[in-house]
Amino acid sequence: MLDQPTPPDLSDNAAAQGPAVIRFAGDSGDGIQTLGAEFTKSSALTGHGFMTFPDFPAEIRAPAGTTFGVSAFQIQIGGDRVKTHGDTVDVLVALNPAALKTNLSALRPGGLLIADADAFAKRGLEKAGYAANPLEDGSLDGYRLEAIEISRLTREAALPEGVTKKEAETARNFWALGLVYWMFAQDRTPTAAWLKSKFAKRPEIAAANTAAMDAGHTYGDVTDMAPPPRLRAVAPASPRPGTYRTLTGIDGMVLGLAAASALSGLRLHYCSYPITPASAILHGLAKLGGEGVATFQAEDEIAAATAAIGASFAGGLGVTGTSGPGMALKAEALGLATAAELPLIVIDVQRAGPSTGMPTKVEQADLNLALHGRHGEAPLPVFAAAGPGDSFETVIEAARTAVTFMTPVIVLSDAYTANAAEPWRLPDVDALADIAVDRDIDPDGFHPFRRDAETLARPWAVPGMTGLAHRLGGIERSAGSGHISYDPDNHQEMTDLRAAKLDHIRGALPPAAVTAGTDAGRVLAVGWGSTQGALKTAVEDLAAEGHAVGHLHLRHLSPLPRGLGEIFALYDQVVVAELNSGQLRGHLQGLFPHVSFRGLNKVTGQPFTVAEIDAALREDLS
Amino acid sequence: MNVMNPDLAAPDTGATPELTARDFTTDQEVRWCPGCGDYAILKAVRGVLAEAGRRPDDVVFISGIGCAARFPYYLASYGFHTIHGRAPAVATGVKMANPDLDVWVVGGDGDFLSIGGNHLMHALRRNVDLNLIMPNNAVYGLTKGQYSPASATGMRSPSSPSGSVEAPVNAALLALGAGARFIARSADTLQDHLPGVLKAAQAHRGASFVEILQNCVVFNDGAFEAVRDKGLTADRTLRLEHGKPMIFGKDRDKGIAVDWPSGTARVVPVGDGGPVYDVTVHDQTNLALATILARMDAPDLPLALGVLYHVPADDFTAQRGDAPRRVIDRVALTGLLSAGKTWTVGETDAA
Ligand SMILES: Cc1ncc(C[n+]2csc(CCOP(=O)(O)OP(=O)(O)O)c2C)c(N)n1
Ligand code: SF4
């Protein structure tokens, strides 16, 4: 783990227009994620750039008030440069002592802490393991503390709407939300409208929550609880014109798969077995039922993968998705799809392992599994999505590659990208290129493993097509006829062919490019997947200070893009940053033995902070 | 708005050509041991396919791994020799993508009951429209003779030199428990019986499970001698016919009488003009009877052959109610992308 560097000066008088980081924390029953979603929506509608980070416990309903039951939601809002959920928190809302205990370390010195004073009674303090009340014992002197009787104020506001005492109290989250809305001058009306429709059958609940929100808002106003000036000045973004929506990584995958189906004209068959955090893709696609998308909840990950292979064999676009442990189960099926040369997309939303590990936390440690986790030599493309919007594009590119080259493709996402949300500009659907499916196959002299010289792909004849009946299988086949063959030289030839297919794919993918910082110089920061936001921000900041540092982010991990070696040669040092112990670094070192690679690694279940990367890169720059 | 997917085979409409077993025969040399029961099963399957009249282009054979699983190579239809145990899952995917295909799944007892037990169970309970045929030789053939989940307790094999201590799986009972709606049993050598059973299985819409007792001449020769031995079979097996009293024996002098309260069956004498009223009539729609029949075995009772249970119901595709021919188009995609809350940044705000 990296040492936490000293955060940059974010005191109230510092740069006026910087972004702000807000974190809400409370019990898992407190509706923290709802609150976060509403704040995100409002931030979007007021034109802020943002990135969110929901951080919830693995337990469905941990005992109330305990530290392991704390649910948190962090959002960074501000101008165009917001690419992460933020390193340190400017405003922390803690609805109980356990939430304070587990989240205080994220609050920057001098940051604003809003706590529900009512929740800091004897029982709550004991459950969280506090010997004394931190709101009163001076231990929070380094912060700007606002201990407010949120529970009481919520009750007073909500009760007149005709709800029970308990119902009134559960509106606490909306009281807090109202206060934060006031602080950031954000609009409450979308939330009020949402409450109205959400509780259409119980209008008094909607009214109680709205009243609580209004009360929180008014509280800010009348007490003139002046927010730190820098926060009030958070600048809206000035994005490219267009229509936007909020997109999580899961949304990106779901919509990307739907798009792949539309662009190819192939019906999508998503076969999956529930596992956190990948389950949400299954949920998202199941909702689209009837829209040309079929979902299948299989009996296990092996069945999910093999059913998807069956669907592809029969002419659909077979897709299977899972997370770490489920990925391990699919290994044998991936060998089959590689041998049979069928298109297949396999999504792995990585989570912290090994084994069951920490299902709700982030890690990028399935890379070796994706690159090498098959028996025999079964090379296949491995792509990684760098964020929510990039998930949409990556999955379409994966489908295009799978269909064009007749190969399974692995797409890596992770628990951070899956749940993080960002504003996303809707693509012009008409401008998206078709995914060509060539079914113009001549039955005369047809054989299932005759290859296209350009792509090395075999023809995709599907059951039902006249005159093209053929047999496929995992047994080695003759490169000529496609019949079973144990001939030694033939196996060499087939192995070489499968490897060569990756070279052809490399040729079709865009070459490597440095996308932030300087094109040559002292240090190149290389990353993949969800670390993109933190890496890019750190590199841009350093480059702005005049340092010769660049950032290269890899979407294509296998085959690696063209021109990588040439780019590496332009820097004195290449730093490979990843949330594992050095899997990509090891891979690159093997392929580029003369380059000096240094690893920047973290395996805590948490994403990189910008400051961590900044500090690590400075070491090489000094 | 959805468009239709032109790739999928449309249901057969035109007149079906006259086909023979030859039309389903590939040029591949069959590589089972001489005398293997799989040859006879292959022959029966080819004959049934020819008779059914489906175009070879609309027929698909999916298999796992094992001697029995080599079927697809020998059938001139579409075929996919997959991985050990997973054929029912692959076939489920095939059916999802194109319900009009006539899909067969072939696996040995190891393939279906051991490594693939889970997938078999789920294909049956989902009632996927598959013809699942299981040549059961009560041994692992391809891996050289280890005991299988269907092997009798005490079987000596390379992996059980002192005799297996495990109780065998009763495949028909397992299929019943999984909710299968077509369960039948036959044997490789019964060429007057097996084709009829296979035909009924193919005609059944939904999952049909056929256990075919199969002789492995190399590793478990004679395991089903009761069925195969011409001298014994009449007295040791019972051929079921729906609506007919359950009579068997060389001289058709024995019947099966079910005692419903205890759920047991016994052999009763029949003939000499004597009363036959207590011989139970086979009713393939009776789940309790099927359970009793599935369990009948030597030494006290004959082995029941034929259709043990047959109660059709909506198959997987019908239950799902989704239409595989519909494909999302760009208009629908545009709608999906902009579903929910969106906001627009005007041209004037351009950076
Ligand atoms: C994952 C996996 N495990 C083990 C094997 C080895 N294997 C191949 S066939 C087989 C058993 C075959 O027995 P059965 O299904 O009864 O078929 P038979 O050969 O008797 O027809 C085994 C264990 C394999 N191919 N794959
Ligand atoms: S080993 Fe047995 S099952 Fe396999 S081919 Fe030979 S006889 Fe048939």
Q: Does residue A303 sit at the B interface (CB-CB below 8 Å)?
A: yes
Give the mutation candidate from B25, B61, B86 for the A interface (greatest A CB count, under 10 A).
B86
How does pLDDT run across B61-107, given as a tens digit for each residue? 999 999 999 999 999 999 999 999 999 999 999 999 999 999 999 99
Closest atom, ligand 2, to C-alpha of B33 = 6
Closest atom, ligand 2, to C-alpha of B219 = 2
According to DSSP, residue A358 is labeled: B
Q: What distance in angstroms lies between residue A364's CA and the mean position of ligand 1's atoms? A: 35
pLDDT score of A408: 98
Kind of pairing, strands A144-148 and A107-116?
A: parallel
Q: What distance in angstroms lies between residue B83's CA and the mean position of ligand 2's atoms? A: 18
Kind of pairing, strands A317-322 and A293-297?
A: unpaired
Q: Which A residues 55-84 touch B at CB under 8 Å? A: 80
Would you give the end-to-end CA distance of chain B in angstroms? 36
Q: What distance in angstroms lies between residue B64's CA and the mean position of ligand 2's atoms? A: 15
Q: Report CA-CA distances (Å) from B293 to B167, B174, B237, B309.
A: 19, 13, 11, 9
Give backbone dihedrals phi and psi of A205, rounded to 5 degrees, phi first.
-70, -45
pLDDT score of B350: 40
How far is it, in rounded angstroms, from Cα A10 to Cα B40?
A: 82
Does A262 contact B333 at a Cβ distance shorter than 8 Å? yes
Which residue of B65, B70, B71, B137 sits with most ligand 2 atoms within 8 Å of its CB, as the best mutation to test the pocket?
Answer: B137
Closest residue in B to A335 (Cα–Cα): B83
Does B326 contact A290 at a Cβ distance shorter than 8 Å? yes
Give the closest residue (by CA) to ligand 1 atom 13. Answer: B140
pLDDT score of A10: 39
Closest atom, ligand 1, to C-alpha of B142 = 19
Nearest to B97 among A255, A311, A336 (CB): A311
Q: Does residue A426 sit at the B interface (CB-CB below 8 Å)?
A: yes
How far is it, in rounded angstroms, from Cα A295 to Cα B64?
A: 24
Does A239 contact B89 at a Cβ distance shorter than 8 Å? no
ipTM for the complex shown = 0.96
Contact B104, B80 (CB under 8 A): no
Contacts with A141 (C-beta within 8 Å, 6 or more apart), sequence order: none
What is the residue whose two structure tokens read 């023979």? Answer: B20
Residue B3 pLDDT > 70: no
pLDDT score of A450: 92
Chain A residues with CB under 8 Å of B351 CB are 80, 238-240
Q: Does residue A430 sit at the B interface (CB-CB below 8 Å)?
A: yes
Does A296 contact B2 at a Cβ distance shorter than 8 Å? no
Contact A471, A461 (CB under 8 A): no
DSSP structure string for A474-540: SS-B-TTT-SB---HHHHHHHHHHHHHHHHHHHHHSPPP---EE-SSEEEEEEEEGGGHHHHHHHHH
Chain A residues with CB under 8 Å of B328 CB are 258, 261-262, 268, 291-293
Q: Which A residues 83-102 touch B at CB under 8 Å? A: none
pLDDT score of A466: 95
In terms of DSSP H, where are the helices of A147-248?
A: 150-158, 165-169, 172-183, 189-198, 203-222, 229-232
Chain A residues with CB under 8 Å of B102 CB are none
Q: Which ligand is nearest to the CA of A333?
A: 1
Does B98 contact A464 at a Cβ distance shorter than 8 Å? yes
Which residue of B142, B151, B212 sits with most ligand 1 atoms within 8 Å of its CB, as the best mutation to test the pocket?
Answer: B142
* DSSP three-state, residue A550: strand
Identify the helix (H) or strand (E) that includes residue A99. helix A97-103
How far is it, in rounded angstroms, from Cα A316 to Cα B5?
A: 9
Nearest to A261 among B9, B328, B350 (CB): B328
Per-10-residue mean pLDDT, chain A, length 622? 36 58 94 94 87 84 87 91 92 96 95 96 95 95 95 96 94 96 90 95 96 95 68 72 94 98 96 97 90 93 98 98 98 98 98 94 97 97 98 98 98 96 95 95 93 95 96 93 93 97 98 97 98 96 97 98 98 98 98 96 96 96 86
Q: Which ligand is nearest to the CA of B147?
A: 1
Contact A39, A116 (CB under 8 A): no
Contacts with A193 (C-beta within 8 Å, 6 or more apart), sequence order: none
pLDDT score of A12: 46
Does A306 contact B86 at a Cβ distance shorter than 8 Å? yes
What is the residue whose two structure tokens read 């391809």? Answer: B142
Nearest to B90 among A239, A306, A426 (CB): A306
Q: What distance in angstroms lies between residue B77's CA and the mean position of ligand 2's atoms? A: 23
pLDDT score of A8: 34
Closest atom, ligand 1, to C-alpha of B219 = 20
Q: What distance in angstroms lies between residue B215's CA and the mean position of ligand 2's atoms? A: 8
Contact A142, A109 (CB under 8 A): yes
Does B118 contact A466 at a Cβ distance shorter than 8 Å? no
Contacts with B44 (C-beta within 8 Å, 6 or more apart), sequence order: B191, B194, B195, B198
Q: Which residues line ligand 2 (CB under 6 A)?
A: B 32-33, 36, 38, 67, 137, 141, 216-219
Q: What distance in angstroms lies between residue B137's CA and the mean position of ligand 1's atoms? A: 12
Q: What distance in angstroms lies between residue B67's CA and the mean position of ligand 2's atoms? A: 6
* DSSP three-state, residue A243: strand
Q: Does residue A189 sit at the B interface (CB-CB below 8 Å)?
A: no
Q: Which A residues 304-363 touch B at CB under 8 Å? A: 306-316, 318, 332-333, 335-336, 340
Nearest to A306 among B7, B82, B346 (CB): B82
Does B337 contact A426 at a Cβ distance shorter than 8 Å? yes
Q: Is the dihedral of CA A574, A79, A186, A216 positive or negative?
A: positive
Q: Which A residues 35-54 touch B at CB under 8 Å? A: 41, 44-45, 47
Residue B348 pLDDT > 50: no
Does B346 contact A241 at a Cβ distance shorter than 8 Å? yes
According to DSSP, residue B147 is labeled: B
Closest residue in A to B27 (Cα–Cα): A483
Residue A221, Cβ density class (10 Å: 0-12 exposed, 13-18 middle, ≥19 buried): exposed
Considering only CA atoms, which of A94, A88, A78, A93 is closest in space to residue A109? Answer: A88
